Amino acid sequence: MEKRNDNRNRNSIGNGNGARGKWALPLIGMLTLALIAGCGGKNAGGDASPGASGTASAGASPSAQASTGGELQKVKYAAFNGVSGLAVHFGAEKGFFKDEGLDVEFVNAQNPVAGLTSKDIDIADLATTQAIVAAGKGAPLKIVSSMFRTKGAFYLIARPEIKSIEDLKGKKVGAAVFGSGLDAYAQVILKQHGLSKDDVTFVANGVNDAAFASLTSGQVDATIIHEPFVSLGEITGKAKLLAKGWDYLPTFHTGVLVSRTDFVETHPDVVEKLLRAYFKSQEYAKSHLDEYKQYFLTQVKIDPAAVDKAFEREEVLWKNKPDVDKQALADTQKIQVELGFQDQVYDVDGILDLRYIPKQP
């Protein structure tokens, strides 16, 4: 884990332009809440659909090859790792991508922007801020849709003895990855409770099971984190929920689908088909929640009660609206600049291409 203070060393990890601090690297024990492949193995945090390759290779068949005689069109798609990407894998198993005439190859990408620009990926889930900054700095990318949710499903949780956010003064707080959306939420939540960066020690403690392990092992006193680890902490008595992120940053946009500019220009039909399959997958998962939970539990080894509680808590965020709110993008960039994560506000008109989003009923 990395600790941050207020000097200007920029050796941070993540995509932030303004992360600060000097660094120490204590080791933490990792929880073994591993994601399990539906067919074959995959690393924790990575998602692979049955029969899909985990990586794209230079020798792979060209994407979106001409569909003749009923052949499926190939597309390489990097869904989010972890639980945020599970619904599309579920949808692939249900046949929604094939129904659209697509042979989707799910790509496990640690750096989706690099994969897009190198043409190893055609379409990817991406943090909104990462997409805007990359495209604003010249990467040939287009935002083609919002994801199934756009508000940050991020939570500040703490060790049970911490009774309030104000109690975190002088404590260590996990910020996930410096410069990330999680980091932004952590800083804003604390600031609204009168705590500055001088009042706590922020630690880059990773995400999901790594963040949860850092809390339960005492490496940090509180952390920003995703579900289902919030609910797991409450059920086991190992963590207390202090704040829901969207209560503090209600217009901070957190997730988009992005494609290469050349791919959008040459294969607009594939972009449109993938977006339809994406939202069919999300809608089916939401409307068949018991079935989706069963699938979820085959992929994530965790207490089913925590999953039930997590889905109930986040139902309010699961909107499945592909449109992109330009005002939300402006609000998001303003926060990024204020935090030092972004050096300027970028014009999004040249970054957005929303011609292919599914029409809402």
Q: How confident is the model at residue 15 (pLDDT cuts 50, 70, 90)?
A: very low
Helix axes 86-94, 268-287, angle to 10 degrees: 100
Q: How far is 221 from 159, CA to CA, in rounded Å?
A: 6
Quote the distance between the C-alpha of residue 210 and its chain's center: 15
Q: Tens of pLDDT along 231-284?
A: 999 999 999 999 999 999 999 999 999 999 999 999 999 999 999 999 999 999
Please give the C-alpha separations between residue 243 and each of 141, 206, 299, 322, in angstroms, as whole numbers: 34, 19, 27, 27
For the record, the structure tokens of 128 come out as 């909104």
Q: Tens of pLDDT along 144-166?
A: 999 999 999 999 999 999 999 99
Quickly list DSSP for 193-233.
Answer: TT--TTTSEEEE--SHHHHHHHHHTTS-SEEEE-TTHHHHH
Domains and CATH numbers, the chain: 2-30+154-247 (3.40.190.10), 73-151+252-304+315-339 (3.40.190.10)
Single-letter code of the amino acid located at 247: D
Q: How far is 310 from 231, CA to CA, in rounded Å?
A: 6
Q: What is the pTM of this model?
A: 0.81
For the record, the structure tokens of 301 come out as 């080894």
Q: Tens of pLDDT along 186-227?
A: 999 999 999 999 999 999 999 999 999 999 999 999 999 999
Cis before 358 (ω within 30): no
Q: Tens of pLDDT along 71-115?
A: 999 999 999 988 889 999 999 999 999 999 999 999 999 899 999
> Average pLDDT over the chain, rounded to whole?
85
Helices (H), the chain: 86-94, 96-99, 112-117, 128-136, 181-191, 208-216, 229-236, 261-266, 268-287, 289-299, 304-314, 326-339
Task: Pick 283 or 21 by higher pLDDT.
Answer: 283
Burial of 268 (0-12, 13-18, 19+ CB in 10 A): middle
